[in-house]
Structure 1
Amino acid sequence: MYSAQPPDVPKTLSTQMQSHLTKRAFPLIPQIGVLALIAALLVLIQCSGEATDTTAMPTNPVVKASTPATTPTSPASMLTPAQTPTPGPTATPFVTPTVIPSPTSLVPPEGLERGGVLRFAVPEGSPHMDPHLTVSAGLLTWGAGQSYSRLFKFDTVGGSAVVVCDLCASWQQLFPTTFRIKLREDVRWQNLPPLNGRKLTAQDVVFSLKRQATPGFPNAAILSNITEFTAVSESEIIIRLAAPDSETLEKLADSHSRIVAPEVVLANGDLRRGPTVGTGPWITSEARSDRTSLLVNPDYFDDDLPYLDALEIQVVPSESARVAGMRVRIIDIAQASYAAISDAADSFDTIEWVGISNPAAGVEIALNTGRGPMDTLVIREAMMLTWDPEAWNNDFWDGQARLSVGLPDLGIGAGRLLPGSAFTDRFNDPASASSRLSTKGLVSAGNVIIKVGEFGQNYIDQAFAMANGLASVGISADVERVSTRTFGDEVWIGGDFDIAVGAPPPVLSTTAYLYAVHHSDGPWNSTGYTDPEIDRLIEAQAREYDIVKRTELLLELQRRILGGSHRFISATRTTYWMWWVYVHDFDPRTPRGDSDFLTRVWVTERPA
């Protein structure tokens, strides 16, 4: 457990914080209230009688390659293959200097009531407190990692995700591989020892980024295309790249790229046990494996944020306990399944909910182009025409899923994913499937094995539905169930399958995904599909800084990938949240794990 006492209130309370306290809708939860809250949740967990079903995920492979031009930003320390120079667009430099407007300059919402405590529950906690030594969202997105800032962050106001300055005031792109970043002058470390509110310097930022990039550290791959971090003054930093990378600013805005102070690290050698002292909007007052308490930072450089006084984040692995906590208003917000949230919303008309779709996660279907009969494009097309993803969506996925090529999308640049209409003519037409098979003289085929990972019963059910579809045109298919670890070893790494059904490889970055999965030399190109034009487009988009031009390249890439009829996501994964109506502006889209939206959440008085 880590516990830190914030500064004495009378000595450090800013005008903003005093305003928060005078406008508070209700008092902060006292310690006895927190203990009661935890006790109540423990009772709910015990009463639920639910054993948490945890499925082991396969270990991400470490793939050796020559010097990569771009690197994955997946939790794995996976390297991408070297780029092969090909014709294509050159990097389009940004206008210089570029000043990114602060998203917090927005007018506060009408009827805003400042203050109060937001209490919510998440399924997983953090293994420890060091943001550079874990990939855990329990720390970096929903935990004490929110006490740290980054050079950049994502503004999700308005439905998209735009990279904006966090600690920076402005940046310039001097060359396609060189950035100059100027820091804000008003940023101070939180008023806790050993920093005691001293001013942030460029040397602090360089120390932190170099530490994150340490070979062997779990988040080093995010920054591995950066060859130099240099503090040229107290407030300016030069960053140089090994090769042009259109995702450079996104990587610096990633939730794993938290800025930590050298004194705090050097005091204990690492930050596993804390203390957590950052420059962010929240002060970590207590952090344990089962809960985190965050208080508003009275000296935060944005005087208008956060709107709340505190966050109380409970780790509750049991879904039934989270739902029960919501029903009795022990917590204000909870993550749960669609069925659980739908039931709660039907029971309480003052519960709101949202589903956030991830086009890079869900149910991936892969056809091995190195094995017959999948080695023929027309036959792969015919196989897809026997399948009905719309029916699977309704039967297995609550009608909430959609089709995707698998490209990760942060919402940066509207319209960079293929629309649903692009998939319309590729499925659910058995007559056309039979016709295509007959043109190849294939009336019936030998036995095909559909290998499905045990990621959940719905995956299994869908695999059998796929086998039935193939049987309708004379293709015999058996379903083989394997553990998730075996699926990772045999499918993701080994490519040992005819048709595979399971979770896609865990790669979060668009460029990393394209290089790893779809490039001819990709370490996770398990379908064996190769197309020189796809390789060229992957390499071109990786160095194209212009958002509009890059979007055009990404759309063309997806069309060519879909045209190969070898890999797609039949049902995107959706994460569901519910909250009471007295919680306002809760918008849990977290590009690259960014949860800055919590600074803009506000609450009105809870009903008695």
Structure 2
Amino acid sequence: MGAFGLAGAALIGCADDDEPGSDGTATPGGNGTAAAGTAPNGPVSGGRFRGTEAGDPTSLDPMVSGSVSTKSIAAHVYSRLMRIDTAEDADPFDRLPTGDLAESVESDDGQHWTVKLRPGVKFHNIAPVSGRELTSEDVLFSYQRLSAPQSPNSTQLGSVVDVQAVDNYTLTFTLDAPSPEFHELLADGNLLYVQPVEADGGFDPVVQTIGTGPWILREYVPSSKLTFDKHPEYFVEGLPYMDGIDEAIIPEDANVKAQFEAGNVDFASISAEDLLDMQQRFPGGTWLPGTGNGMAWIAFSGKDMSPDAVWRDERFRQGVSMSVDRAALLDFAGNASRLLDAGFDFTTLTRWNNIPEPCAFGPRFWLDPQSEGQGPSSTYFQYNPDEARKMYEAVGVGQQPIPYMYTDRYGDVFTKVVEATGGMLTDAGLVVEQQFQDYNSVYITNTFVGNFHGVVYGLESQLTPGGYAERFFGQDPANHGRVHEPEMEEMLVAQRTELDPDARTEILYNMQRRQGEMMYYIPAQSTSSTQWSGYSSRVRGLRRTRGYGAGTDVFANVWLSA
């Protein structure tokens, strides 16, 4: 593999958790988690993995849809220039990006980058692409689609000012300034999935997928199933091991769990409440903690939508934060006390999210809001409903109803936490009108991008540290609360180009301090508590990634025992 770095040294784009014992890696024994097994003779080929998907995608095209399901499917069939270098029993936040389609990604100054592609990479053998070799023109075409104004993630690569295809295997990227996160952007499962140029008129990527990834989408039946077959000419020799993946579309967590218990599927998302029982009942299974780097948040409609709303006053927003009992929610959603007592030593059982950085990133990017480092604004993270009531009274809330919106697409536990948080706001004196929204027709297409009046409890896509900052405070079209404050924007711009890791960390810490003081958003707890994935006893070679790249980063390496 070629070099990936700045003047020969890798740019640091992902978090190493430098606290002793805080890596969050699942190991056998002490934390009660079964490690992924390895047969004496190593991986074997064949068989089909039986998975599940929570719902239908809004589109099969990741360049036009921000849907979780869309990105999950994309990670199976498309490749990126880089990916996360996963390994068994490794914390994905301790792993750096490595090459996917790229053989090397190099720069002398952090601003001008040269990308060399692997030669001989073949697209899926589906007309009109018909298994031809990938070239730099396909990458350029895909970048142009991603950066188009209608793309939901166009601003995430806003620092790129020019891309050129130099020859069939070489591209140059020119940024507006040196970037500490360029590798991370190329590996991000939200962004640059490489599609063939034939997607411009030769076939419709909204309803058909043709990529270079390890899996070919053979069939999609809405509300029923997704069927993937292995790509026989995948560019990584020997991978994937399995013949295919069959995913049943099952929206209800309870139904997924029942199918897992019956032996009909190999995977189920397991709530922390059920984890200890499931571990005892299925001793041969593998139980892996989720990466949890999604960000749950409470947002307030922006000035353009609600110019005279009571939440224009920071005292109201501070009161909302103080109405939320974060420790109780960790116990409620993450079963934290019981799991800690049972020996599950996983740091996010006790961590609280901050904004713009989730706790899963660890101290390289995340500032612990319970620490002295948070400064005076740590007060607003503490549960204090009496003080919250005083703040509500001071701004004249009265009995004014507050619309409180959410969707159920993110699972039963998420919904329960949303509703419990709404109850806490009510207990602190607000008149909360809980309003459920359909994910596809309302939430992701309108509310998520700031078109709402009231308060919304949402879940963020899994982004890079800089990506979160852009999403919450930049020109990102999905800046949910449309927060554009000069002090935050100044720090946002500064962190984009700061190549010194310690200096950049301090900028991100200062963003979290200022955000904590003003509470433009309320950091919520749904994804800071541990999420667990259960796998049947025949599944081997498991590892974890971050973001949406599991289709390639994880399942290309999975194999099935006899």
Q: Above 0.5 in TM-score?
A: yes
- What letter corresponds to residue 447 of structure 1 in structure 2? G
Once the two structures are overlaid, the 10-residue window that deviates more, 554-563 or 279-288, is 279-288
2-side partners of 1:213 and 1:559: how far apart? 32
Alignment correspondent of 1:96: 7
Specify whether residues 217 and 578 from structure 1 end up closer, same or farther in structure 2 by C-alpha distance, changes over 3 A only.
Answer: same
Alignment of 1:234-273 (within 5 A): 234-255=168-189, 256-262=191-197, 264-265=198-199, 268-273=202-207
Alignment of 1:306-325 (within 5 A): 306-325=240-259
Out of 235, 247, 253, the position equivalent to 1:301 is: 235
Query: Is the 8 Å Cα contact of residues 365 and 465 (structure 2) preserved in structure 1?
Result: no
Say whether residues 1:514 and 2:473 are aligned partners: no
Offset, 1:113: 2.6
User: Residues 16-71 of structure 1: CA distance to partner in whole angstroms, max 9, x if unpaired?
Assistant: xxxxxxxxxxxxxxxxxxxxxxxxxxxxxxxxxxxxxxxxxxxxxxxxxxxxxxxx
Out of 26, 48, 51, the position equivalent to 1:120 is: 51
- What letter corresponds to residue 251 of structure 1 in structure 2? L
Query: Is the 8 Å Cα contact of residues 508 and 592 (structure 1) preserved in structure 2?
Result: no
Specify whether residues 172 and 411 from structure 1 end up closer, same or farther in structure 2 by C-alpha distance, changes over 3 A only.
Answer: farther
**Aligned partner of residue 591 in structure 1, secondary structure:** coil
Query: Is the 8 Å Cα contact of residues 135 and 218 (structure 1) preserved in structure 2?
Result: yes
**Aligned partner of residue 236 in structure 2, secondary structure:** coil
Alignment correspondent of 1:22: none
Alignment of 1:4-15 (within 5 A): none
2-side partners of 1:127 and 1:300: how far apart? 27
Offset, 1:237: 0.6
1-side partners of 2:234 and 2:247: how far apart? 21
Offset, 1:415: 3.0
Offset, 1:317: 2.6
Query: Is the 8 Å Cα contact of residues 463 and 501 (structure 1) preserved in structure 2?
Result: no
User: Residues 197-232 of structure 1: CA distance to partner in whole angstroms, max 9, x if unpaired?
Assistant: 543322232233224434434554444543332111
User: Residues 156-185 of structure 1: CA distance to partner in whole angstroms, max 9, x if unpaired?
Assistant: 332125221111111222554421111123
Alignment of 1:469-480 (within 5 A): 470=428, 476-480=429-433
Offset, 1:603: 2.4
Alignment correspondent of 2:425: 466
1-side partners of 2:240 and 2:476: how far apart? 46
Say whether residues 1:209 and 2:143 are aligned partners: yes
Say whether residues 1:281 and 2:281 are aligned partners: no
Specify whether residues 464 and 350 from structure 1 end up closer, same or farther in structure 2 by C-alpha distance, changes over 3 A only.
Answer: same
Specify whether residues 346 and 365 from structure 1 end up closer, same or farther in structure 2 by C-alpha distance, changes over 3 A only.
Answer: farther
Offset, 1:582: 2.6
Offset, 1:521: 11
- What letter corresponds to residue 538 of structure 1 in structure 2? L
User: Residues 90-149 of structure 1: CA distance to partner in whole angstroms, max 9, x if unpaired?
Assistant: xxx96235689xxxxxxx9673232132221121244554443444443442x3652322
Query: Is the 8 Å Cα contact of residues 351 and 368 (structure 2) preserved in structure 1?
Result: no
- What letter corresponds to residue 539 of structure 2 in structure 1? V
Out of 527, 536, 541, the position equivalent to 1:580 is: 536
Offset, 1:257: 1.9
Alignment correspondent of 2:404: 452
- What letter corresponds to residue 430 of structure 2 in structure 1? A
Specify whether residues 321 and 384 from structure 1 end up closer, same or farther in structure 2 by C-alpha distance, changes over 3 A only.
Answer: closer
Out of 264, 268, 272, the position equivalent to 1:330 is: 264
Out of 366, 385, 401, the position equivalent to 1:417 is: 366
Offset, 1:150: 1.5
Query: Is the 8 Å Cα contact of residues 381 and 433 (structure 1) preserved in structure 2?
Result: no
2-side partners of 1:490 and 1:139: how far apart? 18
Alignment correspondent of 1:406: 355
Query: Is the 8 Å Cα contact of residues 334 and 577 (structure 1) preserved in structure 2?
Result: yes
2-side partners of 1:536 and 1:231: how far apart? 33
Offset, 1:332: 1.0
Alignment correspondent of 1:568: 522
Once the two structures are overlaid, the 10-residue window that deviates more, 131-140 or 318-327, is 131-140
Out of 447, 457, 481, the position equivalent to 1:502 is: 457
**Aligned partner of residue 403 in structure 1, secondary structure:** coil
2-side partners of 1:425 and 1:598: how far apart? 43
User: Residues 549-575 of structure 1: CA distance to partner in whole angstroms, max 9, x if unpaired?
Assistant: 423321232133223355332313265
- What letter corresponds to residue 261 of structure 1 in structure 2? P
1-side partners of 2:58 and 2:474: how far apart? 34
Specify whether residues 581 and 136 from structure 1 end up closer, same or farther in structure 2 by C-alpha distance, changes over 3 A only.
Answer: same
User: Residues 321-368 of structure 1: CA distance to partner in whole angstroms, max 9, x if unpaired?
Assistant: 322221221211123544566654453333333342545433537699
User: Residues 365-398 of structure 1: CA distance to partner in whole angstroms, max 9, x if unpaired?
Assistant: 7699987798476x87677556532124334664
**Aligned partner of residue 328 in structure 2, secondary structure:** helix
User: Residues 396-431 of structure 1: CA distance to partner in whole angstroms, max 9, x if unpaired?
Assistant: 664468521233559778631123633776555759
Specify whether residues 458 and 169 from structure 1 end up closer, same or farther in structure 2 by C-alpha distance, changes over 3 A only.
Answer: closer
Out of 330, 353, 361, the position equivalent to 1:393 is: 330
Alignment of 1:95-174 (within 5 A): 95-96=6-7, 111=40, 112-117=42-47, 118-126=49-57, 129-141=60-72, 143=73, 145-157=75-87, 158-159=90-91, 160=93, 161-174=95-108
Alignment of 1:517-556 (within 5 A): 517-518=472-473, 524=479, 526=481, 530=485, 532=487, 534-556=488-510
**Aligned partner of residue 432 in structure 2, secondary structure:** strand
Specify whether residues 359 and 404 from structure 1 end up closer, same or farther in structure 2 by C-alpha distance, changes over 3 A only.
Answer: farther
- Computing the radius of gyration over CA atoms, which structure comes out larger, 1 or 2? 1
Specify whether residues 346 and 530 from structure 1 end up closer, same or farther in structure 2 by C-alpha distance, changes over 3 A only.
Answer: same
Query: Is the 8 Å Cα contact of residues 402 and 571 (structure 1) preserved in structure 2?
Result: no
**Aligned partner of residue 295 in structure 2, secondary structure:** strand
Alignment correspondent of 1:602: 559
Alignment correspondent of 1:354: 288
What is the total number of aligned residue pairs between the two structures? 489
Alignment correspondent of 2:344: none
Q: Which runs of 5+ in 2 are unaligned?
A: 12-36, 337-348, 408-414
Offset, 1:457: 5.2
Query: Is the 8 Å Cα contact of residues 153 and 254 (structure 1) preserved in structure 2?
Result: yes
- What letter corresponds to residue 601 of structure 1 in structure 2? V
The root-mean-square deviation of aligned C-alpha atoms, in Å, is 4.4
Specify whether residues 466 and 346 from structure 1 end up closer, same or farther in structure 2 by C-alpha distance, changes over 3 A only.
Answer: farther
Alignment of 1:427-438 (within 5 A): 427-428=381-382, 433=387
Task: State TM-score, norm by structure 1.
Answer: 0.67
**Aligned partner of residue 122 in structure 2, secondary structure:** coil
